[in-house]
Structure 1
Amino acid sequence: MKLQNSYILAIESSCDDTSCAILKNNQVLSNVTAAQAIHEQYGGVVPELASRAHQSNIVPTVDVAIKNAGIDKNELTAIAFTKGPGLMGSLLVGTSFAKSLALSLNIPLIDVHHMQAHILAHFIDHGQRVPEFPFLGVTISGGHTQIVRVTDYHKMEVIGTTQDDAIGEAFDKSGKLMGLGYPAGPQIDKLAQLGNPSAFEFPIPKAPGLNFSFSGFKTAVLYFLQKEKSKNPNFVEENLADLCASIQHTLIKILFKKLEKAVKETGIKRVAIGGGVSANSGIRTALQAKQQQGWDIFIPPFEYTTDNAAMIGISAYFKYLNQEFCGLDVSAAPRLSM
């Protein structure tokens, strides 16, 4: 029997953003995120500062989400939270708050896998087409690069993953080497549209099977810039747009080389992308080109690509339908596997 009119409060605190959403069944009533600007001055996320900021942000963020949803907290039917993977300190804040709230309201608690949630964001109802099973879920972010075979809402198999760094980190670290601020990915994307993607050539790292490797790419960019700046100290400033275009072109080439292989090996042409890097215009253009070649492409709205609580809520919704709850003894799991 299908349950009706569930009201799930979802909390996402895996990294540096504190997010809370309210979902009525599979529709989002509110989705509020408190970003942490403090990390910009360090060029990356500082775990201790992130967890402290979560402690300051979580109560007001939850409060605003409930008010924006136009419901009373006593109408909630379940509390969902990110169990992992992520930063331990950050996860603990969300986990502890969710457990306390569920206990005080005497309602079920639902633990959610962060990476599964990125994929299931495609099923948030906003009048769009949703992918049919099976499909390939591609999660690309600052911490993850994965190709996942999805056969049901919570039946997922990782068939390709990064062996070292994620594609988002490759964008950010390359940007840092060129003097761009954090996060550098969106800045590279913007500048790349003004440059020549064939201006400079960077190597394509080798990784077995459907796996990825981006560590060698970052090193190649480092050595290339050091060499060129030794000859011309103003090299980066004079070639910034071309550098960004060439770097972005290479990273997209690395991604699609493995994605094309995955489609060929599995025979699955339905591809659903997720994660913060899926907002990249170059990646979206490349996906649209594949659609012309017969792939069935699914890209969620921008607000559901970066870390957000709405995706935690939709993942929890499908667990709620099956009455898959967890106990109050549940713990945060920073290295939670798929």
Structure 2
Amino acid sequence: MPLILGIETSCDETGAGLVRDGVLLGDALASSVDEHARFGGVVPEIAARAHLEAVRPIVQRAVDAAGVRFADIDAVAVTAGPGLATAVQVGLAAGKAYALALGVPLYGVHHLAGHAAVDVLEHGPLPARCVALIVSGGHTSILLLGDLARDPIVHLGDTVDDAAGEAFDKVARLLGLPYPGGPVIDRIARDGDPAAIDFPRPMTGPKDPPYGFSFSGLKTAVARWVERHEGPLPVADVAASFQEAVADTLTRKALRACAEHGADTLLMVGGVAANSRVRALAEERCRAAGVTLRVPSIRLCTDNGAMIAAVGDLVVRAGAPAADLSLGAQPSAVLTGALVTGPWR
């Protein structure tokens, strides 16, 4: 079976992984999150420079962890988009260099397909039909999946403004909490009352797009509530109530997609899938609806090289055509399938 090297650099994590026949042999990850913290968000040029410094040692660490040699690698898969333009370009250039040096084919992977594929490494092949809820700092999407390597990916809905993870970061800033906001809000919310404040459930009205999301208004509702509040700010209650609104909105729409598209499996992936309340509410609602919930372990929810290698493993075994060295970084790549194609732009 072919051995696939995967490289991921779409945002602020530099990841590499090696997968063979659906088994993760080894991976490594570096994050530049601490370098972005004082800016309250990811700075693309800082991320790109961090990738440039980290990518070679991270690939070496992954190869060492897998107990293989570079000569054993049969193909290279690399994120070609979407993501931060300069960040994607660093990883893509590295992927081309490894493929050229090793004399092996190159595959440009769509970042969101990587998130969907990573669960295969822990829980085995996906069913013939399932709904995927992808929730992260940059993406909030509902997808209808078939065979990831062979079938088109049906994009059911997206956020029209802030992604869920972005909203967590912005609300954390409103509450005087550090970046990144997701983990700290999750932690603080455990001491709060999720019913203390009735924040809106955005885009859930009868005339709204059934699978669309909008979290900018929810963030603004939190800001207005904080501005109006007199006395000490009940940070834990605000955090818990905001988190509940996000979890309710995400899971409500995901379960609706399952029901309306005849899918008995919900795949939930991305950094926000690590949130304890989102997970708990998804489990509760899936159980009530008779839907199987699949969520990878927390370390595989965030961006990583294993997920890109997982896509590479699937498409190579399916006989998909490789890319050539004219493959270009596509920061706004439209999701139609697992692979990204096209020249430099």
Task: Tell me whether the two structures share a fold, i.e. TM-score over 0.5.
Answer: yes
State the distance in 2 between where 1:137 and 1:261 align.
12
1:8 aligns with 2:21: no
Q: Are 2:271 and 1:276 equivalent residues in the alignment? A: yes
Partner of 1:222: 223
Q: Give the partner amino acid of 2:210.
A: G
One-letter amino acid of the structure 2 residue matched with residue 105 of structure 1: L
Find the partner of 1:255 among 250, 258, 273. 250
Letter in 2 for 1:117: G
CA–CA distance in 2 between the matches of 1:122 and 1:308? 12
TM-score by length of 2: 0.92
Point out where structure 1 has 5 or more consecutive residues left out of the alignment: none
- Which amino acid in 2 is paired with 1:309? G
The farther-off stretch of 328-337 and 204-213 is 204-213
Mapped pair 1:189 → 2:186: yes
Counterpart of 2:304 in structure 1: which amino acid? N
How many angstroms apart in 1 are the aligned matches of 2:301 and 2:29?
A: 13
Superposed, 1:1-338 pairs within 5 Å as: 4=1, 6-36=2-32, 37-124=34-121, 126=122, 128=123, 130-154=125-149, 155-206=152-203, 207-228=208-229, 231-232=230-231, 234-235=232-233, 239-293=234-288, 294-321=290-317, 322-338=319-335
- For residues 194-224 of structure 1, the C-alpha deviation after alignment (integer angstroms, 9 at most, x for no partner) is 1111111112222423111111111111111
What is the Cα deviation at residue 142 of structure 1?
Answer: 0.5
- 1:151 partner amino acid: G
> How far apart are the structure 2 equivalents of 1:29 and 1:38?
30
- Aligned counterparts of 2:209 and 2:63: Cα–Cα separation in 1: 47
Deviates more, 1:254-263 or 1:103-112: 254-263
Of the structure 1 ranges 267-276 and 173-182, higher mean CA displacement relative to structure 2 is found in 267-276
Tell me, which stretches of 5 or more residues in structure 2 are unaligned? 336-345
Aligned-partner residue type, residue 266 of structure 2: V
TM norm structure 1: 0.94
Q: Deviations over 1:141-169 (max 9, x none)?
A: 00111110001114311101111111111
C-alpha distance in structure 1 between counterparts of 2:333 and 2:272, whole Å:
21
- TM-align CA RMSD: 1.2
**Counterpart of 1:159 in 2: which secondary structure?**
strand
Q: Tell me the distance in 2 between the aligned counterparts of 1:312 and 1:28.
A: 11
Instruction: Indicate if the aligned counterparts of 1:10 and 1:310 stay in contact, CA closer than 8 A.
Output: yes
Partners of 1:314 and 1:13 in 2: CA distance: 15
Whole-Å Cα distance in 2 between the matches of residues 66 and 75 of structure 1?
10
Encode CA deviations 1:77-100: one digit per residue, 9 max, x unaligned: 011100000001000000011111
Q: CA deviation at 1:318?
A: 1.2
Query: Which amino acid is the alignment partner of residue 192 of structure 1?
Result: A
1:214 is matched by which residue type in structure 2? Answer: F
**Equivalent pair of 1:79/1:109 in contact (CA under 8 Å):** yes
8 Å CA contact 1:131, 1:298 repeated in 2: no
- Residue type of the alignment partner of 2:133: V
Task: Judge conservation of contact 1:130–1:298 (CA < 8 Å) in 2.
Answer: no
1:325: how far off? 0.7
1:97-117, CA deviations, whole angstroms, 9 ceiling, x for partnerless residues?
111111111111111110011
Q: Secondary structure in 2 aligned to 1:176?
A: helix
Q: 1:52-71 deviations in whole A, cap 9, x for unaligned? A: 11111111111111111111
Distance 2:65 2:281 in 1: 37
Following TM superposition, the consecutive aligned residue runs of length 4 or more in structure 1 with deviations greater than 6 angstroms are none
1:59 and 1:323 mapped to 2: Cα distance?
Answer: 27
Task: Rate the CA distance shift 1:257–1:323 in 2: closer, same or farther, 3 A.
Answer: closer
Q: One-letter code of the match for 2:267?
A: A
